[in-house]
Amino acid sequence: MYEIQFDKRALDFLNKLDYKTKKRIWDKLQECKQNPFHYLKHLTQITGYKLRVGNYRIIVDVQEKIKVLLVLKIGHRKNIYD
């Protein structure tokens, strides 16, 4: 099982969201802990993986050797890749 760690900016953005959206994102991240590559899609333009949750995208760095999912960025789908 993987451990989830957050970048400070990603955690700040998550805390600003409404409760319902925050819970959806949190629940999806908890599902990813078991088998992350079932949910994550590899990105080609930037380093990392993306996780889709409704209109939001989560950019994740997977560190397989130490079993860590590092959440780098969370944002709306239209401006997450800027």
- The answer, as to whether pTM is greater than 0.85, is yes
d(C-alpha 33, C-alpha 13), whole Å: 21
The CATH number assigned to the domain holding 51 equals 3.30.2310.20
User: Cβ(72)–Cβ(61) under 8 Å?
Assistant: yes
pLDDT category of residue 38 using cuts at 50, 70 and 90: very high
Is residue 82 included in any domain, yes or no? Answer: no
Q: Is the pLDDT of residue 80 over 90?
A: no
- Within 8 A by CB and 6+ apart from 20, the residues are none
Enclosing domain of residue 27: 3-76
- Give residue 69's identity as a one-letter amino acid code: L
Question: How many domains does the chain contain in total?
Answer: 1
Is residue 25 included in any domain, yes or no? Answer: yes
Helices (H), the chain: 8-16, 19-32, 36-39
